Structure 1
Amino acid sequence: MTTVNHAPESKAAGADLSLAFDDLRYTLESYRVSNDERLAQIESRHGVDPLTEEKMARIDAALDETMRRIDRMTLDRSRPALGRDEPRDPLVGEHKAAFAAYVRSGEASGLKRLEAKALSAGSGPDGGYLAPSSVESEILRRLSTASPIRALATVRTISSGTYKKAFSTTGPASGWVGESAARPQTGSPTLAELSFPAMELYAMPAATQTLLDDAIVNIDQWIAEEVESAFAEQEGAAFVSGDGIDKPKGFLAYPMVAEASWNWGSIGVLNTGVAGAFATANPSDILVDLVYALKAGYRQNASFVMNRKTQAQVRKFKDSTGQYLWQPPASIGAPATLMGFPLVEAETMPDIANNALALAFGDFRRGYLVVDRAGVRILRDPYSAKPYVLFYTTKRVGGGVQDFAAIKGLRFAA
């Protein structure tokens, strides 16, 4: 048996990542020096030199690119190859073999027999066939790293089409009582129900027959890689702003009310005080207000969520001692931080504009719920795009806010 040594490859990847971190530190230092020049020019009342603004824009773009490169390298390094360990369960191995035969040649008799034995509903040519559990697990694992809100939220796997959760609108009925004292009757809690239906999400990767005939190609790995970006992109948009019609409901799709008049069923928001911008004087003060709009129990696990353009704005903010509020990742795989809280970049968040809710802060693990219906189905289609073979891949996913007190928003409005 031949042993493959992956150590040189791992060392090279680690060296590249270390170099990327060095580039990040150097670029960040250049950025901060240029920003200090810009602030000094503002204080001198002569206005900002256009050359300084142009220089900052170039460094800012380089900083974004370096951050993206580190994210890609960290993600690639965390992806173990599929199929390194053979499955011990004979049925699992049989399913993998039958699935490989279906994907490579269209031979479906093995999957038909297995799904008939399992009394699987919806199997057959019209509904496609269930992918092996290893493929499903790899797709979900990849999504948890590529889809920013999924990575923050609570994720539940369900076997039905809808997940329902009861909650008390009046709080828990409880109290203190002495050891031997009579127990007074508590009031009945008022319960309501949240419903999270799982909607169908699809991707349709294409392959040549030559690729499918190549025995060295890991089909499980190929499918997971092909659907990852398509699923992550659609999920990312839906979890932020989806309207709940044939897709999950995003946290920005719920009613937005001023934090002073917040009530259950809506997201509390603060205004920056300036239409389409942060305040000119002490712009970071509103971020402090946003942090403390969240109750202490939620703050300890809270994160900022914004897109790249908004992050470019908050990178310039300093505290009263002159320290920058935005800090780069402290280690490999760690997020950047803002005021000590993790900062998650979600490109589907709105840009800063008049009345836009471009920044959110909260404990998304308690605040947002993602539901995955078990099973990923794949339908092989060799006819629609000859000479390519299409793989219509579907999974069912839903989502919505489960605790409205856990998420707060910042609106760029007067």
Structure 2
Amino acid sequence: MDFEIHDRTPETKAGIAGGEAQEVYDAMMRTFEEFKSENDHRLKAIEQRKGDVLNDEKLARIDASLNQHQQQLDAISLKGARPALEGRRAAQDASAREHKSAFDDYVRSGEAAGLRALETKAMSIASNPDGGYLVPVELETEISQRLANISPIRSLASVRTISSSVYKKPFMTTGPATGWVGETDPRTQTASAVLDALSFPAMELYAMPAATATLLEDSSVNLDQWLAGEVDQVFAEQEGIAFVSGDGVNKPKGFLAATTVANASWAWGSIGYIATGVAGAFPASNPSDVLVDLIYALRAGYRQNATFVMNRKTQSTVRKFKDSTGNYLWQPPAAATGKSSLIGFPLADTEDMPDVAANSLSIAFGDFRRGYLIVDRAGVRVIRDPFTAKPYILFYTTKRVGGGVQDFDAIKLLKFAVS
């Protein structure tokens, strides 16, 4: 992924990004108007039972162009959201500056004495080459912010930083007995609440960027920016897969890996789904009705902050749907920095969601901030390895992250199945 090595003023960068984003957004809106016109022509031909292969091919090309514009907007937004590390250094205290200087020496030349002394002083368990060395807090914050901007589920879910290897969240399986009484009526003793706990272990995620000696010796290269730029995309891709479909073995457990049941039979510990009634497809008649059913499968308290989650291929299908008055249910962003919407709810592009197929769970809808929890163990560690891939120098970079469903009532799924 591209990133800036040399400093720029935020105003200049924002101005360029803003103008570029507006141009892409304007092009996207023109393309959407063309898409609507071509799809209306397709629907009319279907009504007249006149298939048009050329029309279908043209519509597919326009749809691909819409997806490309959205990807460009996402990339521009990500680039603009990356904070400048240099601008925050003036606020660092003396110990942070000392750590930063020692870390630069370690990355550039392998000199670890300064880091070892600092981490031994802090009684860190990672104060040796085998365990790696903690990156400066500023760099750790930079990596976390980039991940939040890149990873769709991380940007929607609740995120908690922990200092232990496991986070346990208690919840009530049965609440205390309650009731209404008159002012002078006797109060009977209430039953005690029954508590249980969900566990969210933090698993190790790693990346291993490589650098040349020339790059590391170049004093004009911002090593913080270089390292963050090398690991952010790799971490985000692996996290994204795990948060959606991870099996929980040495990785977070994704919400699609939870037990799923028909929503009419929903119980705590499982996620409810609505079936489309057709294996591997939307219904041929009134296909958007199942999306409305999915929306109202979610309780009102969750619905007000809910988001649709699906990949772009699935979006290409729902983009053709209209309501009873002829309005398209999918709408492009209202502004260059906004998000697309579906039936008035935000839509998150998540390429790790499965394509539509028989029995697939290709669309999720819910309040992910209440429904899914991500736990980050504090500390990103780096081991410098100049031996394994000579003449390149490898930087084995690790962070610990976990995740899982924390409220099974806050997420609903659309299953492309008969029942």
What TM bracket, shorter-length normalisation? over 0.9
Please report how far the alpha carbon of residue 74 of structure 1 lies from its aligned counterpart in structure 2 after TM superposition.
1.0
Alignment correspondent of 2:268? 264
Residues 10-21 of structure 1 mapped to structure 2, 5 A cutoff: 10-21=14-25
Q: Structure 1 residue 327 and structure 2 residue 331: aligned?
A: yes
Alignment correspondent of 1:278? 282
Distance 1:240 1:34, change over 3 A: same
CA distance in 2 between partners of 1:210 and 1:189 (Å):
63
Secondary structure of the equivalent of 1:84?
A: helix
Q: Structure 1 residue 302 and structure 2 residue 306: aligned?
A: yes
Secondary structure of the equivalent of 1:85?
A: helix
Unaligned runs of 5+ in 2: 1-6
Q: Deviations over 1:307-328 (max 9, x none)?
A: 1100110101111110011111
CA distance in 2 between partners of 1:236 and 1:165 (Å):
22
Distance 1:5 1:122, change over 3 A: closer
Of 69, 76, 80 in structure 2, the residue corresponding to residue 77 of structure 1 is 80
CA distance in 1 between partners of 2:139 and 2:12 (Å):
28
Query: CA-atom RMSD, angstroms?
Result: 1.5
Alignment correspondent of 2:200? 196
CA distance in 2 between partners of 1:258 and 1:85 (Å):
51
- What TM-score do the two structures reach when normalised by structure 2? 0.95
Matched residue type, 1:59: I
Of 34, 37, 54 in structure 1, the residue corresponding to residue 57 of structure 2 is 54
Please report how far the alpha carbon of residue 9 of structure 1 lies from its aligned counterpart in structure 2 after TM superposition.
4.3
Alignment correspondent of 2:412? 408
Please report how far the alpha carbon of residue 375 of structure 1 lies from its aligned counterpart in structure 2 after TM superposition.
0.2
Q: Deviations over 1:255-286 (max 9, x none)?
A: 11001111111110111011100001100000
Distance 1:114 1:180, change over 3 A: farther
CA distance in 1 between partners of 2:187 and 2:382 (Å):
58
Asked if the contact 2:119/2:126 (under 8 Å) is kept, the reply is no
Residues 196-215 of structure 1 mapped to structure 2, 5 A cutoff: 196-215=200-219
Unaligned runs of 5+ in 1: none
Asked if the contact 2:13/2:80 (under 8 Å) is kept, the reply is no
Of 396, 401, 410 in structure 1, the residue corresponding to residue 400 of structure 2 is 396
Q: Deviations over 1:140-178 (max 9, x none)?
A: 100011111111000000000000011111245444455
Identical-residue share of aligned pairs (%): 62
Alignment correspondent of 1:384? 388
Secondary structure of the equivalent of 1:335?
A: coil
Asked if the contact 2:294/2:412 (under 8 Å) is kept, the reply is yes
* More deviation, 5-14/212-221: 5-14
CA distance in 2 between partners of 1:332 and 1:178 (Å):
58
CA distance in 1 between partners of 2:88 and 2:199 (Å):
39
- Number of aligned residue pairs: 411
Alignment correspondent of 2:241? 237
Please report how far the alpha carbon of residue 16 of structure 1 lies from its aligned counterpart in structure 2 after TM superposition.
1.1
Distance 1:7 1:376, change over 3 A: closer
CA distance in 2 between partners of 1:178 and 1:139 (Å):
58
Distance 1:182 1:223, change over 3 A: farther
Secondary structure of the equivalent of 1:169?
A: strand
CA distance in 1 between partners of 2:279 and 2:242 (Å):
26
Alignment correspondent of 1:356? 360
Of 346, 351, 363 in structure 2, the residue corresponding to residue 347 of structure 1 is 351
Secondary structure of the equivalent of 1:304?
A: strand
Alignment correspondent of 1:31? 35
Please report how far the alpha carbon of residue 230 of structure 1 lies from its aligned counterpart in structure 2 after TM superposition.
0.4
Please report how far the alpha carbon of residue 79 of structure 1 lies from its aligned counterpart in structure 2 after TM superposition.
1.2
- What TM-score do the two structures reach when normalised by structure 1? 0.97
CA distance in 1 between partners of 2:78 and 2:11 (Å):
18
CA distance in 1 between partners of 2:96 and 2:232 (Å):
23
Of 156, 167, 171 in structure 2, the residue corresponding to residue 163 of structure 1 is 167
CA distance in 1 between partners of 2:137 and 2:92 (Å):
13
CA distance in 2 between partners of 1:253 and 1:4 (Å):
43
Matched residue type, 2:304: Q
Q: Deviations over 1:10-54 (max 9, x none)?
A: 3232211111111010000001101000100111122x2000000
Q: Structure 1 residue 219 and structure 2 residue 229: aligned?
A: no
Alignment correspondent of 1:129? 133
CA distance in 2 between partners of 1:383 and 1:156 (Å):
36
Distance 1:377 1:4, change over 3 A: closer
CA distance in 2 between partners of 1:247 and 1:109 (Å):
33
